[in-house]
Amino acid sequence: MIGFISDNVWLIWALISLLCLVLELTSGDFFIISLGAGCVGGAIASAFSDSIVIQVIVFAIVSLVSVFYVRPMALKFFHRDVNKRLSNADAIVGRTGVVTEAIAADGFGRVQIDGDSWKAQASGNNGIDVGAKVRVLRIDSIILTVEKE
């Protein structure tokens, strides 16, 4: 068994590289894949040298180059709209909904957006009837401020 491993060190590097690829799928920050690239470098170095020291040096160099030069470019390319992506309740602002319970002037009613019912108030002192289409202007806690479209 030891003889097989010492004859096929490239296989160990390749397996570790595949493990890094699988782990990268769970994180998405391109750090672990940089280590996987270093493992590929170590596997290639094992084809040319039997010295484990040279293989580890190649692994370290390729990993560092990948972390400091390739990773920032990959982050820019794949995560370019991260700051523009709204989530949760902030994504409701600007959406269109339908009034399901009349909104009285200076009062509250209900608006349905994508199957969810929200407590809503009208902007200004206008009442809005049932069935009217409204656009969400802002959200304060769990209360939407809407205007008639």
Judge if 72 and 8 occupy the same domain: yes
The pLDDT of residue 81: 62
* 15-69: pLDDT as tens digits: 999 999 999 888 878 889 999 999 999 999 998 988 999 999 999 999 999 999 9
31 versus 6: which is more confidently predicted? Answer: 31
Encoded tokens for 35: 């280590």
Give the residue from 78, 97, 132 where a domain finishes. Answer: 78
Judge if 54 and 114 occupy the same domain: no
Using a CB cutoff of 8 Å and minimum separation of 24, what contacts does 125-130 make?
127/102, 127/103, 128/99, 128/102, 128/103, 129/99, 129/102, 130/99, 130/100, 130/101, 130/102
Judge if 61 and 115 occupy the same domain: no
Judge if 18 and 64 occupy the same domain: yes
Judge if 28 and 48 occupy the same domain: yes
* 66-122: pLDDT as tens digits: 999 988 888 888 776 656 655 567 778 888 999 999 988 888 999 999 888 999 998
